[in-house]
Chains A and B, each alone.
Chain A
């Protein structure tokens, strides 16, 4: 029987009490134990960005993080980015401007972009492309992703100015 330790995770505002081997990776726990399958596994090695989640609001790669070390932090997955029934402006823009094709990279981009725009409302296209440079997309060539985040930045900027 593998050794297990208690792991208490707070994901999208909900507490989860789990018993897990200490070597369990956060991505695996989100997907397999908590059924939060919106967070995707593209490489498992930090090289694609599909597994991005927010840890205390910061985008981090869940495939490189031990679940046990996520204790005491607020975790947000793509499922928790917007309140039920509503869409975040970034999500809205992704839909309207064609920024998702196969959709597999999309949760990672959404989560990264939401956090970035929160800290940098009104960011320029260059700043956005740098901020998203840890996420790979094979379908869109990024053009419409950048369009969408730029458009969302414009929507968010006036709202967040004082």
Chain B
């Protein structure tokens, strides 16, 4: 049945043992196993999982403070309007109301990037999207807050509404922000040109241009935003918040409230998912703190699901054109990109987004000529921002579709074409990215072999198809957002006391991705102890050293390195103490199996706790610190730092689909996801990231999208914003084939965002293989598929794409590099 065709379980296309000479996955696993780590690389359950499965884990909304008030925020009913006046006197007098605030109380603008502060805690003089907050009320309960809302009189003077970035790009009568470029509503524009693109394209024997159109999508984390603030008589402010980046919140609170940072304490309880949607410092967090200061009582602001949709900060609605020119042998010559992003009402991470949509487009391929023009426009839509695989998703879909199209037109197998054009490891790209470890070849070969590609590509019956796509993503942004003061990307503190446990302090935010577990794994690995000796302290700015936050897939790499350094430092006095007990020089000792012992001879040693106690005799509790700073990377041209990272992840995904030719429903049957995250520190968690990414990517591809009529968001609910259900997931096979990265902790790289990007185009290309139409307007809902099929029939009937004609010299699994 059509409507439920996606119910079918992944019965088709069962992976067959590869015909290849070698199994790349097993080979990679064997190599890793030979290094003999006792915890690293082991499938490790999350250390907080037992709390989560029993309902004991504490999220912000689970916290109750004595005398706590309810804080609620009044939403604007206009998408763009001047606020002539706000009268809150009557609301203030309503019994049960403790405070009513408006934007003039804390008007200092803020924002995540220091150069684009254009948000305020509450609207100041102007509203810029439907749902922006114009007043904050603290009262005894929600009902009283809503009654107070009815008593607040806001006089608006409507302004022209901008809901189309193409209009915002032109000269406009009213600027949404004064800081918009020239006389337009553009927030940011990027021009980059390396080599000579026009010349290279002229000389190309084949040029392919595709244009992609993408609705905005949003993070869809299950935990709505929530913040609690409390201002105590000692003059200190404590803020508990569902945030991915406690440090940026800390800074913004200080800037806007005019309170020194050392008097503010930011605590991050468990966070119910982020995906980028909790990485900006948010107006409601500051408004909540302001209400707490005003009332002297704890205040909680909890969002409705609808409010979550308005705050958005999700992936930008995007239009992009990608042109690639190749020579007669299929060698990529030049790439030319034009992208227009709908930024919504605020800047957020927009400058970064605008760069990323261009600079991340080439990898994993080698190009010697590259040109990019990107623009991000302000509109009166809810703000766009950073979402998983930020800046790397929509552009990747168009690029991988172009590559697939080139292969089709030139008669290449798309895998062979890609193999010819991959960046090698240890290479500097034309835009001066330093590529170090790179296993993209192994990825695509593993995905090819496991998926049975050769028996399926262009060979499945019409309506069924298989497709491939590659991915590339940063493993941590090399440059911090704030340039001053200079300090490490991440710092980890350890304390080992007489109880023989190790307490780990770090500001890195575990938002479900399992970073606490990685911390414990790394520290325990280095100290040769069991993981249960390690306790990861809650993220609390009073005690945890700064980490720059859980975004840009930086945590495993940077925090992992900091933790490793801290643990090495803690090990020094332990080896020293053991050396005294054993009368063996410290450089002949090592830590493993809960002992400090002579290298290779665990029996000749002392238990961990004895060494520890010995070391404490004079020093007391042992403390150690470790930090990780990035080295300078990138060129000197404008925007050269954007996209630089100490390492990059690579991927190649193959997807198999079944398209219902009468209804247009696309059923994704299988995804073979080959991913290079270097050495996976915790394969269980890495697989979880890959599977979750595929879910999110397929959602964007098939059904998710923020739908607007004018500036009005039509689907701010989980019923009408369609996240995939358990019944729609394909069979997923994760193939972890990466080699150790030279700088990553134990060889690891990121696995948080990169796993998303190849999922969408792999399916898009599989649809092309199935029905011969290329769908470039996301989400690909069944009505669009059907329309495309109808057009195809009008043009002369159902056509399968042609089979490769080029002599495909089957690249052996051990293809030389």
Contacts and interface: CB of A to CB of B under 8 A. Distances in A.
Interface of A: 31, 35-45, 47-48, 50, 77-79, 81-82, 87, 91, 94-98, 100-107, 110, 125-126, 129-130, 132-133, 135-146
Residue with the highest number of chain B CB atoms closer than 10 Å, among A81, A104, A135: A104
B693 A141 contact: yes
A138 B50 contact: no
Contacts of B475: none
B55 A142 contact: no
Contacts of A43: 305, 717-718
Residue with the highest number of chain B CB atoms closer than 10 Å, among A39, A125, A136: A136
B365 interface: no
B271 A102 contact: yes
Contact of B726 (A42, A94, A135): A135
B692 interface: yes
Given A42-B223, A47-B719, A102-B221, A78 B727 contact: no
B220 A47 contact: no
Nearest 3 pairs of A and B residues by beta carbon: A38-B55, A102-B512, A104-B272
A138 B729 CA distance: 12
A103 B46 CA distance: 10
Nearest to A88: B53
B54 interface: yes
Given A87-B50, A106-B53, A133-B725, A98 B688 contact: yes
B59 to A, nearest CB: 7
Given A137-B222, A139-B273, A146-B726, A101 B514 contact: yes
Given A106-B52, A144-B687, A47 B9 contact: no
Contacts of B55: 36-39, 77-79, 107
B511 A42 contact: no
B222 A42 contact: yes
B105 interface: no
A35 B222 CA distance: 20
A140 B688 contact: yes
Contact of B273 (A36, A98, A102): A102
A130 B8 CA distance: 11
Contacts of B50: 87, 91, 95
Nearest to B62: A37
A78 B59 contact: no
Nearest to A110: B53
Given A37-B62, A38-B55, 16 more contacts: A38-B56, A40-B59, A40-B222, A41-B224, A42-B224, A50-B222, A78-B53, A79-B55, A82-B54, A87-B53, A100-B49, A101-B688, A133-B727, A136-B222, A141-B729, A142-B729
Residue with the highest number of chain B CB atoms closer than 10 Å, among A48, A130, A138, A142: A138
A158 B511 CA distance: 37
B221 to A, nearest CB: 6
A102 B64 contact: no
Interface string B673-707: 00000000000110110011111100000000000
Residue with the highest number of chain A CB atoms closer than 10 Å, among B58, B61, B273, B274: B273
Given A130-B727, A145-B726, A91 B54 contact: yes
Contacts of B54: 38, 78-79, 81-82, 87, 91
A76 B272 CA distance: 23
A111 B56 CA distance: 14
Nearest to B45: A95
Contacts of A42: 222-224, 272, 305, 718
A102 to B, nearest CB: 3
Contacts of A136: 222, 718, 723, 725
A86 to B, nearest CB: 10
Residue with the highest number of chain A CB atoms closer than 10 Å, among B54, B61, B223, B723: B54
Contacts of A87: 50, 53-54
Given A45-B719, A94-B53, A104 B273 contact: yes
Contacts of A45: 305, 717-719
B538 to A, nearest CB: 15
10 contacts: A37-B55, A38-B55, A38-B56, A82-B54, A98-B688, A137-B222, A141-B688, A141-B692, A141-B694, A143-B729
Nearest to B9: A126
Contacts of B732: 141, 143
A72 B534 CA distance: 46
A45 B725 CA distance: 17
B719 A142 contact: no
B692 A138 contact: yes
A48 B272 CA distance: 13
A48 B726 CA distance: 12
B726 A133 contact: yes
A96 B54 CA distance: 14
Contacts of A141: 688, 691-696, 729, 732
A38 B273 CA distance: 16
B750 to A, nearest CB: 16
B581 to A, nearest CB: 38
Contacts of A50: 222
B648 interface: no
A138 B275 contact: yes
A137 B25 CA distance: 29
Nearest to A107: B55
Contact of A139 (B62, B305, B687, B692): B692
Interface string B270-303: 1111110000000000000000000000000000
B184 to A, nearest CB: 36
A41 B61 contact: yes
Contact of A44 (B52, B304, B685): B304
Interface in B736-777: none
Contacts of B272: 40, 42, 102-105
Given A42-B222, A47-B718, A138-B222, A104 B694 contact: no
Given A40-B222, A45-B719, A141-B694, A101 B513 contact: yes
Contacts of A140: 688, 691-692, 695
Interface string B255-280: 00000000000000011111100000
Nearest to B511: A102
Contacts of A79: 54-56
B475 to A, nearest CB: 20
A17 B755 CA distance: 51
B33 interface: no
